[in-house]
Structure 1
């Protein structure tokens, strides 16, 4: 069974809409397209190469597929590791409107997207990676299909836009497995699935013994 990984740029307030350009996604009047571009420093390139190196296949929604398919087939430099990988690898597209996909080694998923992706995970090996595709990501989250997030967290707040974790996301806990800052203030964080959320209480009757000890130590230091 394969692992489903979501890789995306995200603002400090959780927005993932249109990071790459003003016209990428203007849905709901979004006016901040291209917000990620100023933070793409020299040390971002190796991170992107690293991400693509581990992928076995790509999973895309319609809008992201059309953006990628209009660009990457025209990058034919065999020494470009990202373009070479993208143009060759299997690409699966979830769409209710497309009736064919023509980019090399692309396949249109049939029927319900969540069911099709769940079946794809069962019959695939290695990593299935989702790029962009905000609407598709929300469907995957609602059906608890995401195993890992690789987030490029940008030092900017936008106030509006489609958020990575929207209403309806299935509750899930994650474990931080990596954090790497870049020269432009981006932090590349990786989170693996860690079961369901756990809960507690800071009410006095339930206050953890360790927390009581820390509180006593802090009070001692302040006197």
Structure 2
């Protein structure tokens, strides 16, 4: 069974809309397109290469597919590891409006998208990676299909725009498996699925016991 990974550039307030350019996505009157570009320092390159190296296939929504398909086929340098990977690997496109996809090794998903992705996870191997595609990600979250997040969290607040997590996402717990700061203030965090959320209480009855577990009371008393 494949692992489904969501990779995204995310602002501090959770926005993932149009990180790469002013004309990527104006939906909802969004005016901050290209907000991620100033934080793309030289140490971001190795992170991106590492991300793409582990992918076996790509899963995209229509808008992101059209952006990628208009750009990457024109990057023909065989020494470019990202372009080579993207142009060769299988690409699955979730769209209700496209009737064909022409980028090399691209395949249009048919019928119910959540069912199609669940079936794809069962029959394909390795890692299925989602880039951009906020509307598609929302559907995947609602049907609890995401196994891992790889987030480039950027030190900027945008105030509005499509967010990585919106209302209706299935409750899920994740474990932090990596955190790497970059020279521009971006933190690259990876989170792997860790079952369902746990719950507790900090009411008066439980506070003292919990505080001693984490040594809050003992450390305060020693000062």
TM-score normalised according to structure 2 size: 0.97
SS at match of 2:84: helix
Whether 1:7 aligns to 2:38 is: no
Q: Which residue of 1 aligns with 2:169?
A: 169
Q: Distance in 2 between matches of 1:55 and 1:208?
A: 47
Q: Which residue of 2 aligns with 1:140?
A: 140
Q: Which residue of 2 aligns with 1:207?
A: 207
Matches within 5 A, 1:106-121: 106-121=106-121
TM-score normalised according to structure 1 size: 0.97
- Kindly report structure 1 stretches of 4+ aligned residues shifted beyond 4 Å: none
Q: Distance in 2 between matches of 1:173 and 1:186?
A: 23
Kindly tell me the number of residue pairs found equivalent between the two proteins. Answer: 222
Shift of 1:61: 0.1
Q: Distance in 1 between matches of 2:85 and 2:12?
A: 30
Q: Which residue of 2 aligns with 1:216?
A: 217
Q: Which residue of 2 aligns with 1:80?
A: 80
Q: Which residue of 1 aligns with 2:50?
A: 50
Taking structure 1 as reference, are residues 77 and 172 closer, same or farther at Cα in structure 2, changes over 3 Å only? Answer: same
Shift of 1:211: 1.2
Q: Which residue of 2 aligns with 1:19?
A: 19
Q: Which residue of 2 aligns with 1:60?
A: 60
SS at match of 1:207: helix
Q: Which residue of 1 aligns with 2:149?
A: 149
Q: Which residue of 2 aligns with 1:36?
A: 36
Deviation string for 1:48-106 (max 9, x for gaps)? 00000000000000000000000000000000000000000000000000000000000
Q: Distance in 1 between matches of 2:122 and 2:210?
A: 43
Deviation string for 1:155-213 (max 9, x for gaps)? 00000000000011100000000000000000000000000000000011123624136
Q: Distance in 1 between matches of 2:220 and 2:167?
A: 41
Taking structure 1 as reference, are residues 111 and 208 closer, same or farther at Cα in structure 2, changes over 3 Å only? Answer: farther
Name whichever of 117-126 and 206-215 sits farther off.
Answer: 206-215
RMSD, aligned α-carbons: 1.0
Shift of 1:217: 1.7
**5+ long unaligned stretches in structure 2:** none
Q: Distance in 1 between matches of 2:34 and 2:145?
A: 28
Q: Distance in 2 between matches of 1:220 and 1:25?
A: 54
